[in-house]
A and B are shown apart, each in its own frame.
Chain A
Amino acid sequence: MKPLEPISRGSRIVLGALFFILFFALWAAVSFGGLVPKQFLADPLTMLRSGWELSTKHAFHEDVGITVWRVLGGFLIAASLGVPLGIAMGAYKPIEAFFEPFVSFARYLPASAFIPLLILWAGIGEAQKLAVIFIGSFFQIVLMVAVIVGSTRRDLVEAAYTLGAKSSGVVTRVLLPSSAPDIAETLRLVLGWAWTYVIVAELIGASSGIGHMITDSQALLDTGQIIFGIVVIGVIGLVSDYLFKLANQRLFPWRLA
């Protein structure tokens, strides 16, 4: 091994898969070997059996569907408001001066701590779930987008001015295209966080969703179902992350060229 030396695609896949195999092997060893009692940690086979039962008998796909819907809904609302505000703040310093201190403060308000308050305001319906995700994502998106847009290369902006661009042209034809890949990258990151918020919201007050299934299983001491739920979240996260990455590569070929 040498620092920063790249590896082949083949070895990358093998090494990545190897960790999953080792992880499952260790899990199987401690659960089958009796190192950890069954009621605390189900073994991989029990987990798969529980998962099969959940999917065939308890319509688990509906829970998954509703959770995905909540994440995407809350995330899209946060992004569609947060990205434009972030761009405006990054581009125009007075707007930044006006919003930045409050947004920086609001960013540290823990979204999960709002859940009791949101239940009071919005009940335990969908609005409350979307609100939790919104609070957790919106302020992060605004600040990160503002920083990205604000750090656009000055010499590119100057070049645009000498080519006859006006303020609006500089925003739409320089700041936006130059920031777009990093904004997309930020959204990919925040979507990952939104997944954590939705599960927390579902653990506390919900009658459907993956988080709700996990709380139900806890009451039944069914660790197999709990672990299956967690694994499903992980797999969905991995897939959505991969799709996001793929879309970014397609949308911004000039980055890779």
Chain B
Amino acid sequence: MSKLAIEDVSRVFPGVRGREPRALEPTSLAIEDNDFITILGPSGCGKSTLLRIVAGLDRPTAGRVLLDGQPVTGPGPDRGMVFQSYTLFPWLTVERNIRFGLREKRLPEAKQAEITARYIDRVGLRGFEHHYPKMLSGGMQQRTALARALANAPKMLLLDEPFGALDNQTRALMQELLLSIWESERKTVLFVTHDIEEAIFMANRVAVMSARPGRIKSDVRIELPHPRHYTMKTTPEFSAYKARLTEEIRAESIKAAQMAL
């Protein structure tokens, strides 16, 4: 049985004057335990909609999502999420933000402190525990958001272009950080991005989505060894994947641009 099964999920948004834009064609995807899957697609292809449906923040018009065989009916702490926008609670310090879910679970105080300290170290924020989000750089905020999601010990980690707003250098560091966490903790990860390099570097499977209406066009297994280092991005194997995915995405982007005209 798959860890996560997306079965014929589609989403139609209420249209303007009778036109019903279909954001997501019926889509199916099976994700195995410990998989790291990136969903790659041009903007507006419905990849975020798909992720939000898995998170339970949006409801599918038809179809269903099963996590460990149980249907997803709403958001829950078993699916940790990191958003593209900075969603740390601005009134809480880094430490309190990471603790948020643990307090919600009513874990004993000592246990909360122990887990929080572990993840502060894991994402390299020791010394910043008592800072408010406003005092942190974008990269540090996203590291805190990652720690906050991980501290809850979710079955899955859902990431919606989490590094999209960061500069290139910071983004590369964040990618390595997330990979090293995945390599050591072996979480099941669903990662949405429009960045081809990022999609290949992070994943063991890349699901390419087509533009409007969105659907999964191809599913590419990435056979690159772990642990991965940033130098991998210049190897011939990596370039071959990149060439192939660039071609697929290009066709979609052209289609999307033509439809917009």
Q: Which residues of B contact A177 (CB under 8 A)?
A: 89, 91-92
Q: Is the CB of B100 within 8 A of A160?
A: yes
B98 smallest CB distance to A (angstroms)? 10
Looking at B79, B80, B92, B104, the one whose CB has the most chain A CB atoms below 10 A away is B104
CB of B100 within 8 A of CB of A254, answer no
Neighbour of B76 across the interface among A156, A164, A173, A178, CB < 8 A: A164
- B192 vs chain A, min Cβ distance (A): 15
Contact between chains at B87 and A163 (CB < 8 Å): no
Q: In the assembled complex, which residues on chain A have CB atoms less than 8 Å from the CB atom of B134?
A: 254, 257
B104 touches A156 (CB 8 A): no
Chain B window 72-87, contacts with chain A (Cβ cutoff 8 Å), 1 for yes, 0 for no: 0011110111010101
A178 to B104, CA, bound (A): 17
Bound-state Cα–Cα, A255 to B89, Å: 11
CB contact under 8 A between A158 and B90, given known A163-B152, A169-B104, A173-B100: no
Residues of B within 8 A of A163 (CB): 77, 80, 100-101, 104, 148-149, 152
Min C-beta distance of A171 to chain B, whole Å: 13
Which residue, B79, B80, B90, B149, has most C-beta atoms of chain A within 10 A? B90
| Residues of A contacting B: mostly | helix
Contacts of B85 in A (CB 8 A): 155
By a CB distance below 8 angstroms, the chain B residues around A159 are 81, 83, 87, 89
Q: Which residues of A contact B91 (CB under 8 A)?
A: 177-178, 180, 252, 254
Chain A 120-169 interface residues, beta-carbon cutoff 8 Å to B: 153, 155-156, 158-166, 169
A161 touches B57 (CB 8 A): yes
Contacting residues, chain B, for A3 (C-beta < 8 A): none
Are B152 and A254 in touch, CB under 8 angstroms?
A: no
Q: Chain A residues near B104: list those with CB within 8 A.
A: 163-166, 169, 173
A164, B101: Cβ atoms closer than 8 Å: yes
Pairwise interchain contact A162-B100, C-beta atoms closer than 8 A = no
Complex Cα–Cα for A166 and B91 (A): 19
Q: Are B81 and A178 in contact, CB atoms less than 8 angstroms apart?
A: no
Contact: B57 with A158, CB < 8 Å?
yes
What chain B residues lie within 8 Å of A174 (beta carbons)? 89
Assess whether A101 is interfacial by the CB under 8 Å rule.
no
| Top 9 A-B pairs, shortest CB-CB distance | A164-B77, A163-B101, A161-B75, A159-B87, A162-B81, A257-B132, A254-B132, A164-B104, A177-B91
18 contacts between A and B (CB under 8 A): A158-B87, A159-B83, A159-B89, A160-B100, A161-B57, A162-B56, A162-B76, A163-B80, A163-B101, A163-B149, A164-B104, A166-B104, A177-B91, A177-B92, A178-B89, A252-B91, A254-B92, A257-B132
B interface vs A, CB < 8 Å?
Answer: 55-57, 74-77, 79-81, 83, 85, 87, 89-92, 100-101, 104-105, 131-135, 148-149, 152, 158
